[in-house]
Amino acid sequence: MTSGTLQHTTVLLDEAVDALLGGAGPQPAGTFVDATFGRGGHSRLILMRLGPDGRLVAFDKDPEAIAEATRITDARFSIRHEGFRHLADLPAGSAAGVLMDLGVSSPQIDSPLRGFSFRFDGPLDMRMDTTRGTSVAEWLATAEVGQIAEVIRDYGEERFAGPIAKAIVAWREERGPLATTAELADLVAGAVKTREAGQNPATRTFQALRIFINAELEELQQALEASLSVLAPGGRLVVISFHSLEDRIVKQFIAKHSKEVYDRRAPFAAPQAMKLVALDRIKPSAAEVAGNPRSRSAIMRVAERTAVA
């Protein structure tokens, strides 16, 4: 898919759509949800495979994604300019399947104006929704050393979080607030003493700040909980994660709801029924990784909603 001149290759495209529609028959009907439209790769394939009575509802916070979605003229399709925690706004039991692709799209990463990447110099923004909220630059301009270190450590799993935070505040006091991605990348490179071969020293810090400024993990947890209400019995939940923090949340969520729950205070009472059945864990093929190196960290987990208790 394209956005201007920037290209995006959808990860696990066929595998995700196969998993989402797998139990719905050759002409799937009902309402499916693409909770993270991105540049529409999954949505377009879902629409190609849906039957005439099928519907697809998509969500995305990014105004550029919404603009891309307007190019889809299929009457079975609609999109909401909202984050996927707003799944909770859909009627209970209304969805035959929910897909969540948690990756940042290539046009977002490759556009210097968005500030997601240390590879391009641009404004230090990183907001998924550029129409609202606080940018990374604005937050770093006032945050305390301890707050910055905590974010970089917790969301980036960065062992040099303390030195990086101190360097950010020292820069701010000497030269004014950080304003560009190049400034931050250079500062981090000076504070990080060792790094894994082939990884830029700024990788973990940029990841951490992006996750924090967009409340990505909190929104993921909210969206997963909402999916339990929204999915009809037999409906599929398909989630593609790209780093360990996300995948851990998804894995633990599916595991938690894939077993009966006993109330220890009432040992003879009937257990609360399991809500999900874990179906699969899929990684990109060697061929896909060779063709799209950004897919190498992806993990797709698939579960199915049981009968509503």
Candidates 22, 254, 41, 245; CA nearest to 151 is: 245
The tokens for 276 are 């999900």
Q: In this structure, are 187 and 254 located in the same domain? A: no
Q: In this structure, are 34 and 165 located in the same domain? A: no
Q: What pLDDT is stored for residue 281 in this prediction?
A: 97
Q: In this structure, are 8 and 97 located in the same domain? A: yes
Residue 235 domain-assigned (yes or no): yes
Domain final position from 184, 213, 242: 213
* pLDDT tier, 129 (very low <50, low <70, confident <90, very high otherwise): very high
Half-sphere exposure of 120 (CA within 13 A, CB side): 15
Domain final position from 213, 230, 246: 213
Q: What pLDDT is stored for residue 7 in this prediction?
A: 58
Candidates 188, 159, 157, 154; CA nearest to 171 is: 188
Q: In this structure, are 101 and 223 located in the same domain? A: yes
Q: In this structure, are 190 and 146 located in the same domain? A: yes
Q: In this structure, are 206 and 220 located in the same domain? A: no
Residue 118 domain-assigned (yes or no): no
- Mean pLDDT, the chain, as a whole number? 90
Q: What pLDDT is stored for residue 270 in this prediction?
A: 57
Q: Give the CA distances from residue 255 to residues 207, 250, 251, 270, in Å, rounded to whole numbers and listed in that order.
A: 26, 9, 6, 20
Q: Is the pLDDT of residue 261 over 70?
A: no
User: Which domain, by its residues, includes 191?
Assistant: 130-213
Q: Is the pLDDT of residue 293 over 80?
A: yes
Q: What pLDDT is stored for residue 242 in this prediction?
A: 93
Q: Tally the domains of the chain.
A: 2
pLDDT tens, residue by residue, 188-237: 999 998 777 778 899 999 999 999 999 999 999 999 999 999 999 999 99
pLDDT tens, residue by residue, 59-103: 999 999 999 999 999 999 999 999 999 999 999 999 999 999 997
Residue type, 111: S
Residue 78 domain-assigned (yes or no): yes
pLDDT tens, residue by residue, 22-34: 866 677 899 999 9
Domain final position from 153, 182, 213: 213
Q: What pLDDT is stored for residue 21 in this prediction?
A: 95
Averaged over 148-177, what is the pLDDT?
96
Residue 123 domain-assigned (yes or no): no
Q: In this structure, are 71 and 147 located in the same domain? A: no
Q: Is the pLDDT of residue 164 over 70?
A: yes
Residue 171 belongs to a domain with what CATH number? 1.10.150.170
Residue type, 81: H
Give pTM, 2 decimals. Answer: 0.90
Q: What pLDDT is stored for residue 274 in this prediction?
A: 85
* pLDDT tier, 3 (very low <50, low <70, confident <90, very high otherwise): very low
Q: Is the pLDDT of residue 300 over 70?
A: yes
Q: In this structure, are 24 and 89 located in the same domain? A: yes
Give alpha helix (H) positions in the chain: 13-21, 41-49, 63-69, 106-110, 136-140, 145-156, 161-175, 181-191, 203-213, 216-230, 244-256, 286-291
Residue 50 belongs to a domain with what CATH number? 3.40.50.150
pLDDT tens, residue by residue, 237-257: 999 999 999 999 999 999 999
Residue 119 domain-assigned (yes or no): no
Q: In this structure, are 221 and 193 located in the same domain? A: no
Averaged over 135-148, what is the pLDDT?
97
Q: What pLDDT is stored for residue 2 in this prediction?
A: 39
